[in-house]
Structure 1
C-alpha cells in the first residue's frame, strides 16, 4: 500500500463541495481515476442535472460470486464556517487525522474502497467473480441514488454487499429503518371571535396526534440489538396570526423502525388511521411520506459477517464487535434487489460526522483499506 497516495485520494475527495445536490463533480473525479484501466467498466447513471451515480464493475479471471461495495458521494452542509478550526473543504491533515466535511460520513470509507480497487487493477490481482462499486447520490437526504440503481437492476446479481459508512471499525450487520411523514390539515379561516364560522386546522392535527399516539404506544416489542420502535412528532406549523382561526396546518413525524416493526405494515396502519379520521366530520387530512428507508435485517452468524469480523480482528489485533446501527444506510434500498444477500456496514469513520471539524483518523483509514482488500480477495477466491 502506498499510504501517501491513499491519503492524497481522500484529501482530493474532501476538497470537492458535494453538499446535498452537487455530486457530479465527485463522480467526474472518480471516473478520471479509472479511465486508465480498460478492465474497469464505468457506468454513469444520471439522476438530475449536476447529480450522477457511478457504477464501476470489474470482472475477475474466472466466474464466481458478485460482491457489491457502496459509498455515497454527497455530504451535508458545513453549517457555520466560523465554528470550524479546519476549513471544511480543504482536506487538511495533521499527524493523526484528516479533516473536512465528509471525512467520516463518508468520503473516508468511499476513498478506501476506491483505493482498494485501483490497487487491485494496478497490481493485476487475481480473483474469481465480479466486484461492483456503487457511488451514489442523495444518501443524506433520502437514498435517491441507491433507489434508482436498485430499480434499474444493478444490484440484482449481488451475493454480498459492503457499505462503507462510518462504524468505528466495528462490524455492523443490521440497522434501523426510517419513516418520515407529513400530515397536512385543511380547514377554514375565520375570526377568532367567531370560531364556529371556521374549521381549525390545528385542532385536526391534535386529533391525529392523539390517534397516532394510541396506535404506536402498544407496539412494545424490543429488538435485542436495535432496541424499541421509536416515534416522535418533530415539527408542527400552522396559522397566520393570533386572532384568526387557522385554515392550514402541518405536522411532521419521525419513526425509527426495526425488523420487528418493518416499514410497510406500519405505513399501512398509518394510512388506515388517516382514512378513518377523515370519515369524521371536520377532518381533512392528507398524509405524505418522505423517502422511507427500510430496516436492515441480518444474521450475526452469517459467513460473510464472520469473515469480516475475522479479517478485522487479524488486522487490528484486538476483538471486534458485531453490532447494529441506530441509523439507516443505502442498504435500505439495495436489499430490495432480486435476491437476498448479507450486508456488512463497516467504515473508518466515527461520531464526528455532521459536526464542525469532522475528521477521520489516519490509522483507521489505512486499516480499513487493508481490511477491505483482504475481505474482497478472500470472498472472491
Structure 2
C-alpha cells in the first residue's frame, strides 16, 4: 500500500473495527504507515477509575522550528443493524465512486487525507522548516475522558509544544470548501427536578402535581431567548431533551418530575453566568401560581451534569488564513468561518495552541451507509498539502 493515496489509507483504517473504546487495529495501522515517513510514534493509554482504558497515539516528524499538530480520532460509533447497510460497515467497499464504511467521514477520512498529504510532500523532497505531529485518540465518540485531554497533558509533560493545530472533523455542510470551524459554542447540561405531593387524581386538593410547576418552569427556560447571537456566533439555544415522572399509573399524581436540558451557548455567556441566569428564571417561575393557585413556591433542584464545555474562538490569522487560502486555491471557494455545530476535541486543544477544524462533508456521518466520494478524498488531500506548505511558509517568513 502506498500512503500517498488517501483511498488506500482510508480502506485500511475502515477495515479496523475501532468502535469506542476498542482500538480495533486502527492505531497499529497508523503506526505502520507513519514510521516509514520519518515519524517517531508513541502509544499512550488513558486511564480513569470506572471507565474503560483507551489507547491513543502521538507521532512527530521533526524536532525543532514551528510545530503544526493535526488532531483526530480513529474511534467510531457503532454501526447499528449491519443488515441495513448496503455494504458491510467495515468492508470499505467502493461503488459508483463512493467508499462506504463506518468512519469514512467521521473521521478516518480526514486522517487518511492528512497522512497522504504529508507523504506526498515527503516523496517530493519538501524540507519543511519545522515539525509536524499527529495527535490521534480513540475516545472522541465516547465519554472523552481518556482521550485527547489526557494525551495533550501527557505530551506536554514530555516537553511538547505546538504553534497551531488542525482538527480533521467533517466541517463542510454540503461540499468541500464550504466551511472552516474557527470556534465552537459552549455546552451545558442540567437536570431539573420538581417535587410535589403524590395523590389520587380525583382528589387534587390533597396532592400537589409537580407537572403544573414544571410546565411554568420549562416555559421560563425556553420561552424567552437567551440572546440574539453575535457577529461570529449564532444565538444561544436551550433544548429540553427528556421529561420523566417514572409514573406508570394513570390515576396517580406523581410525587416528582425531572426534565433534562442542554444549552449550546455563545461567547456572551460563561457556564457560571449561564447557570446564574437559568437559576434566576427557575426561581421566578417556581413562585408563579397561575397553575397552582394559593400554593407556596414549588420545590425544585437543578443538577448540572458532567463538565461544561467552554465556548471558544480562534483569532490566529496565520492559521485560519493559510487554511482558507488553501481551500480557495484548490476548490475556488471562499470558505465561511463558522462556530456552528456541536462540540469536538478542539475544546481541549484550544488551551494549548490556536486550533481550527476542516474536513470532509458531514452529511452521512453516524448514519447507515456512511460514505465519502473518492473524489473528495483527493480534493481534501490537495487542500491539506497546500495548507501545510502555506502555513510553514508564513511561519518561516516570520
TM-score, length basis structure 1: 0.83
Identify the residue that residue 7 of structure 2 maps to in structure 1.
7
The aligned length equals 372
What CA distance in whole angstroms lies between the structure 1 residues aligned with 2:369 and 2:58? 30
Helix, strand or coil for the counterpart of 1:29?
helix
Contact 1:348 1:361 in 2 (8 A): no
Aligned match of 1:289: 305
Q: 1:152 to 1:281 in 2, by over 3 A?
A: farther
Distance 2:262 2:235 in 1: 14
Q: Would the aligned equivalents of 1:143 and 1:333 in 2 still touch at CA under 8 Å?
A: no
For 2:346, the equivalent position in structure 1 comes to 331
CA deviation string 1:201-252 (max 9, x = no partner) = 43453343133236xx253322334422222212211132222232343212
User: CA distance change for structure 1 residues 313 and 293 in 2, over 3 Å: closer, same or farther?
Assistant: same
Quick check: 1:259 aligned with 2:260? Answer: no
Structure 2 CA distance, aligned partners of 1:67 and 1:141? 26
Report deviation, 1:162.
0.5
Task: Evaluate the alpha carbon distance shift between residue 52 and residue 10 of structure 1 in structure 2; reply closer, same or farther with a 3 A threshold.
Answer: same
Residue number among 139, 164, 168 corresponding to 1:164 in the alignment: 168
Measured on the aligned residues, the alpha-carbon RMSD in Å equals: 3.3
Q: Which moved more, 1:359-368 or 1:73-82?
A: 73-82
Q: Which residue of 2 aligns with 1:311?
A: 326
- Cross-structure match for 1:66: 67
Structure 1 residues 40 and 189, CA, compared in 2 at 3 Å: closer, same or farther? same
**1:1-381 alignment to 2 at 5 Å?**
2=2, 5-23=5-23, 25-35=25-35, 39-47=39-47, 48-49=51-52, 51-60=54-63, 63-117=64-118, 125-141=126-142, 143-144=144-145, 145-152=147-154, 154=156, 157-168=161-172, 169-170=176-177, 171-187=180-196, 189-195=198-204, 200-213=209-222, 217-240=224-247, 241-270=249-278, 282-299=298-315, 302-316=317-331, 318-327=332-341, 328-337=343-352, 340-341=353-354, 343-380=355-392, 381=396
Q: Structure 1 residues 161, 24: CA separation in 2 closer, same or farther (over 3 Å shift)?
A: same
Structure 1 segments unaligned to the other structure (5+ residues): none
Specify the SS of the correspondent of 1:64. coil
Deviates more, 1:157-166 or 1:79-88: 79-88
In the alignment, the residues of structure 2 paired with residue 45 and residue 269 of structure 1 have an alpha-carbon distance, to the nearest angstrom, of 40
Alpha carbons 1:39, 1:121 under 8 Å: kept: no
Cα separation, 1, equivalents of 2:153 and 2:286? 34
State the partner residue of 2:293. Answer: none
Give the Cα–Cα distance (whole angstroms) in 2 for the partners of residues 187 and 305 of structure 1: 53
How far apart are 1:35 and its partner, in Å? 4.9
Which residue of structure 1 lines up, in the alignment, with residue 290 of structure 2? Answer: none
- Shifted more, 239-248 versus 104-113: the winner is 239-248
